[in-house]
Amino acid sequence: MGKFEKMLLLSDYDNTMCYTESALNGGEAPAIHPRNLEAIRYWIAEGGTFAMATGRALGAFRTAAEGIPMNAPAIVDNGAAIYDLKEERYLVESCLPDVCLEHLAAIVQKFPEVSLELYHPDDLIQIVHLVEWNKQHAKLTNMGYEVIPEVTPRLIKLPLVKALIVAEMELLKQIYTYMEEMGWASEYELIFSSSHLLEMTARGADKGQMALKLKELCGCDKLYCAGDHANDLPMLRAADRAFAPSNAIPAVLESGAAVVCHCIDGALGDIVEILDRE
């Protein structure tokens, strides 16, 4: 029996497994550090279970996933789904309620400068009010998109897996407050997943809830999680042991997670070394 039997290790992708921040600013994302890949192979060889838990939609994660050793289904869409890449099927999927179109249309009407990215289960992405950030995001994820002029059932096929509201943080906070005032916030998981993103998934569809479901599906006793941003906090709180790369946002660094090296230096390598010693 390997030393990591019945242990599930989950890692975020962007800026935890691979440092992609520079790509959103027009640069190139570096490759995954070899330390990370070596550490994952060792983890699996010693009986451990490893998977990714990413905010990316399935289509945006497929290419990145090809070079990562995984022996368990992945959490995608910021916790809206669990997908088995080998069997090519969803094991768990939690879509936005249909009323989301009404709410998103009202947001665009009140805040016309925002951009929306709307994600469908079949990998279709629709964008309302295309801005430069959307173009850089598409380049990073290698995903195409369809630009539509408005939020309307005539143009948008339901269901939606998630929606990204794209704007500067000050405006995103105003939108969040508006949704609270309208009584809509309680119907969703609303997470500031970067300085320009407010992510919207179905209530209960976050990385924490899905991490616990995946732990159960895999028959594991222990859950270890690594992440760098606010959308990772639910799974870091759900974990038996949480880790964060040193490049994580302050809220994550102050969450009680054990801080390891910068993502670009192979944070997963540090994590597996720590768990190996223990």
Please report, for the chain, the start and end positions of each structural domain, with discontinuous segments joined by +.
Answer: 7-94+205-277, 100-202
- 221: exposed, middle or buried (Cβ count in 10 Å: 0-12, 13-18, 19+): exposed
Fold of 100-202: 3.30.1240
- The reported pLDDT for the residue numbered 1 is 74
pLDDT at 195: 85
**Are 205 and 124 in contact, with CB atoms under 8 Å apart?**
no
Tell me the residue type at 151.
V
Indicate the helix (H) or strand (E) that contains 81. strand 81-84
Q: In this structure, are residues 57 and 125 in contact, taking their beta carbons and an 8 Å threshold? A: yes
Tens place of pLDDT per residue across the chain (278 aa): 799 999 999 999 999 999 988 766 666 667 899 999 999 999 999 999 999 999 998 988 988 898 899 999 999 999 999 999 999 999 999 999 999 999 999 999 999 999 999 999 888 999 999 999 999 888 888 889 999 999 999 999 999 999 999 999 999 999 999 999 999 999 999 999 888 899 999 999 999 999 999 999 999 999 999 999 999 999 999 999 999 999 999 999 999 999 999 999 999 999 999 999 98
How many angstroms separate the Cα of 84 from the Cα of each of 8, 201, 212? 15, 20, 16
Tell which residue, 3, 27, 18, has the closest CA to residue 52: 18
Torsion angle defined by CA atoms of residues 32, 56, 24 and 145, in that order, rounded to the nearest 10 degrees: 130
Number of neighbours of residue 144 by Cβ within 10 angstroms: 10
Q: What is the CATH number of domain 7-94+205-277?
A: 3.40.50.1000
21 sits in which H/E element: helix 21-24
For position 29, what pLDDT does the model report?
Answer: 66
Name the 3-class secondary structure at 64.
helix
Quick check: 175 and 107 in contact, CB under 8 A?
Answer: yes
pLDDT of 248 reads 97
> How confident is the model at residue 230, as a pLDDT?
93
pLDDT score recorded for residue 59: 86
- Indicate if 100-202 has the same CATH topology as 7-94+205-277: no
The C-alpha atoms of residue 278 and residue 273 are separated, in whole angstroms, by 9
- Nearest CA to 211 out of 224, 197, 195 is that of 224
So what's the pLDDT on residue 60? Answer: 86
